[in-house]
Amino acid sequence: MFHDRLAAALERAGRDGSAVAVLCLDLDRFKPVNDTLGHPVGDTLLRTVAERLRSAVRATDLVARLGGDEFAVLQAGHEQPQGAQALAARLVDLVGRSYLIEGHLVNVGASVGVALAPGDGADPDRLLTCADLALYRAKDEGRGAFRLFEPEMDARMQARRALELDLRKALALRELELFYQPQLDLETGRVCGFEALLRWRHPERGLVPPAEFVPLAEEIGLIVKIGEWVLRTACREVAGWPDGIGVAVNVSPAQFKSPKLVDVVRGALEASGLPPSRLEVEITESVLLQDDAGNLATLHRLRDLGVRVAMDDFGTGYSSLGYLRSFPFDKIKIDRSFVRDLPGSADCLAIVRAIAGLGSRLDIATTAEGVETAEQMRRIRAEGCDQIQGYLVSRPVPPAEIPALIAETLAHAA
């Protein structure tokens, strides 16, 4: 219906040389409304949004719901892009105003993407795609705003899609690898364990940095399968290393959503024969932030297996001390951002001192990340941290280099 009307409008515009605008609008924070107030309220909200949209356009413009919480507006016979810009700004404001619905005060926002014909394309599908890409960018940049389509958005999206296709094949093609970065026990001076770090070696792209593909893997849900592979591989590889050497594996919030996590960990331990005490899962506080009794129960079940649990990146997020009380963590990892400015920054030193003190009182080990100089190590040791990790000890290395690295640090310590 919208598609047909759009096609007809484009044909007319093509004949008389006028412009047509397509606006795609998507509600921000609609899902929480649906989840907390129920679908009937959500449905009434969507109807009210549609009415607000209709109240803001001319009689000759068309408003349609594309599905879910996405709407489209067809604007013809206006001076462009001024007409679409004015309308988009008005829609963002109008839809973002509070609603009173079935006894509830409801607040949502709106993001809008705009595509113009003939400039951005001349057929309905192309225009809707362009408007969607612009919408995607508006949402990406913080929502509650509108964006006009630009060709560069298309290029960026194509690159992302290509990366996604490659990433989906990476597991099957065995392009993923684990590197290991040692953690040094400051008391004994020996390597006591390693953090497993994911690497993707693509035949043409080369070594793709995790920052480039892990967020994408999380977004498309692939992180759960990749996470399974990481757990199995880390356990298998580390099982062959000397007793007492442990491995820390990052587990993402998405993996916690999967009900299989505990089974996956148990399976990885059993298949490899690695004693559970040598496996440590590192979580960020977002795992505890996202809810819920469920994630906390999962942590306890992991602990019941005999696995250790570490809080990663401590100090960067909310760093609620409540999290430290909600679960008996084995380890706190002090974020590298506090270590980077040592010894120069008195603030960072104070933070490191506070976290180390907190750890020792709560009987939780502390590991400082990103330690690069001997002076940083000296300060961190003086503040009472238990372990360090960083380039000072070693950069992350492939598993083949591990035996030599362990032997070398043993010789060092001796």
Partner 1 sequence: MPGTLLFNRGCFAQVLEGPREAVERTFERIQRDPRHADVNALEFAPVGRRGFPSWSMAFVGRSAPGEALYGGIAGESGFDPALLTAERLFATLRELVLAEEAEAAPVA
Binding site residues, partner 1, CB under 8 A: 48, 51-52, 55-56, 90, 93-94, 97-105
Question: Quick one: 105 or 211, whose CB is closer to partner 1?
Answer: 105
Residue whose pair of structure tokens reads 């819920």 in the numeric block: 292
Is residue 202 classed as helix, strand or coil in its secondary structure?
A: strand
What is the H or E stretch that residue 136 is in? helix 124-140
What is the H or E stretch that residue 368 is in? strand 365-368
**Smallest separation (angstroms) from partner 1 to the CB of 63:** 14
Question: Quick one: 88 or 178, whose CB is closer to partner 1?
Answer: 88
**Smallest separation (angstroms) from partner 1 to the CB of 106:** 10
Can you say how many angstroms the Cα of residue 276 is from the centroid of all Cα atoms in its chain? 28
**Smallest separation (angstroms) from partner 1 to the CB of 109:** 14
Question: Quick one: 93 or 212, whose CB is closer to partner 1?
Answer: 93
CB-based burial label for 81 (10 Å; 0-12, 13-18, 19+): middle
Report d(CA 353, CA 346) in Å as an integer. Answer: 10
Question: Quick one: 9 or 91, whose CB is closer to partner 1?
Answer: 91
Question: Quick one: 106 or 214, whose CB is closer to partner 1?
Answer: 106
Name the region of 42 (left: φ>0; alpha: ψ -120 to 50; beta: rest): alpha
Which residues, at least 6 apart from 223, have a Cβ–Cβ distance to it below 8 Å? Answer: 214, 217, 252, 254, 255
Question: Quick one: 22 or 87, whose CB is closer to partner 1?
Answer: 87
**Smallest separation (angstroms) from partner 1 to the CB of 144:** 14
> Which residue, 241, 248, 293, 244, is CA-closest to 272?
241
Report d(CA 303, CA 146) in Å as an integer. Answer: 47
**Smallest separation (angstroms) from partner 1 to the CB of 74:** 20
**Smallest separation (angstroms) from partner 1 to the CB of 139:** 23
CB-based burial label for 92 (10 Å; 0-12, 13-18, 19+): buried
**Smallest separation (angstroms) from partner 1 to the CB of 379:** 45
Which structure tokens are listed for 370? Answer: 């990103």
Kindly state the DSSP code that residue 333 receives in the 8-state scheme: E
> Which residue, 382, 388, 384, is CA-closest to 339?
388
C-alpha triplet 337, 338, 340: angle, nearest 5°: 65
Given a contact cutoff of 8 angstroms between Cβ atoms, the answer to whether 411 and 191 are in contact is no
Which structure tokens are listed for 47? Answer: 């109807």
**What is the sign, positive or negative, of the torsion defined by CA atoms of 280, 164, 109, 105?**
negative
Which structure tokens are listed for 121? Answer: 């394309």
**Smallest separation (angstroms) from partner 1 to the CB of 79:** 19
Question: Quick one: 41 or 167, whose CB is closer to partner 1?
Answer: 41
What is the H or E stretch that residue 353 is in? helix 346-362
**Smallest separation (angstroms) from partner 1 to the CB of 101:** 7
